[in-house]
């Protein structure tokens, strides 16, 4: 190596080669800084990186636990949904069966009510027919007696006439009843 004299300006490759004392003190400073870095900075960085790594691992574990919990909850919700759907189907089926029983019961009650109304109507018609028959019998007997009195010209015995008219009406009813049965 060619060194330039003091005050000389280096030329050529010497521009890139520093003087030996610069290399020595640079090496001393490098070793000192490397020692300080190794003793103080590197352990703190290592501790910080380990803490960060542990934090990340804990977060990953927590995320895995939460994901498993979410899966379990999702499965539970799906089971509850399936149960709710089956319960809704059962309720619909029960409601359908109850509706059918109510309709059947209402029909039977309506038929019973209609039968009762028909029976009462028949009883009323029978009673009315009997009342009319009795009223007509009395009117016919009275009219027959009045007609007979006008024809004969005398007053007839009421009891005897009444018995005769009643017997005549009974014979008419018997003859009329025989014709209705035919």
Question: 19-71: per-residue pLDDT in tens?
Answer: 889 999 999 999 999 999 999 999 999 999 999 999 999 999 999 999 999 99
pLDDT higher than threshold 90 for residue 84: yes
25 vs 41: CA distance, rounded Å: 22
Q: What proportion of the chain, given as a percentage, has pLDDT over 90?
A: 58
Question: Quick one: pLDDT band at residue 182, thresholds 50, 70, 90?
Answer: very low
Tell whether 114 is covered by a domain: yes
Tell whether 139 is covered by a domain: yes
168 vs 136: CA distance, rounded Å: 13
Number of domains, the chain: 1
- Between 96 and 170, the more confident residue is 96
Question: 124-142: per-residue pLDDT in tens?
Answer: 999 998 888 888 877 777 7
Residues 6+ apart with CB under 8 A from 34: none
Determine phi and psi for 88, rounding to 5 degrees.
-65, -40
Tell whether 73 is covered by a domain: yes
CA torsion through residues 162, 168, 171, 175, sign: negative
Find the domain containing 66 and state its range.
19-162
Tell whether 123 is covered by a domain: yes
Tell whether 147 is covered by a domain: yes
Residues 6+ apart with CB under 8 A from 19: 3
pLDDT higher than threshold 90 for residue 92: yes
164 vs 145: CA distance, rounded Å: 10
pTM value is: 0.39
Tell whether 149 is covered by a domain: yes
Query: What local confidence, expressed as pLDDT, does residue 156 receive?
Result: 66
Span of 52-56, 86-90, 167-171 with lowest mean pLDDT:
167-171
Asked whether the beta carbons of 10 and 4 are under 8 A apart, the reply is: yes
CA torsion through residues 168, 174, 180, 182, sign: negative
Tell whether 109 is covered by a domain: yes
Tell whether 30 is covered by a domain: yes
């Amino acid at each position: 190596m060619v060194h330039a004299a003091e005050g000389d300006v280096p030329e050529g490759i010497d521009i890139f080669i520093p003087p030996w004392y610069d290399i020595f003190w640079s090496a001393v400073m490098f070793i000192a800084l490397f020692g300080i870095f190794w003793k103080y900075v590197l352990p703190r960085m290592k501790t910080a990186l380990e803490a960060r790594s542990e934090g990340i691992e804990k977060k990953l574990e927590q995320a895995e636990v939460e994901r498993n919990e979410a899966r379990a909850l999702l499965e539970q919700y799906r089971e509850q949904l399936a149960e709710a759907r089956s319960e809704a189907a059962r309720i619909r089926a029960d409601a359908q069966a109850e509706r059918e029983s109510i309709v059947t019961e209402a029909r039977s009650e309506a038929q019973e009510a209609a039968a009762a109304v028909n029976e009462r109507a028949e009883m009323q018609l029978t009673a009315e027919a009997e009342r009319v028959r009795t009223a007509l019998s009395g009117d016919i007997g009275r009219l027959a007696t009045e007609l007979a009195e006008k024809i004969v010209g005398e007053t007839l015995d009421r009891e005897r006439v009444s018995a005769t008219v009643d017997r005549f009406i009974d014979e008419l009813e018997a003859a009329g009843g025989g014709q209705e049965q035919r």
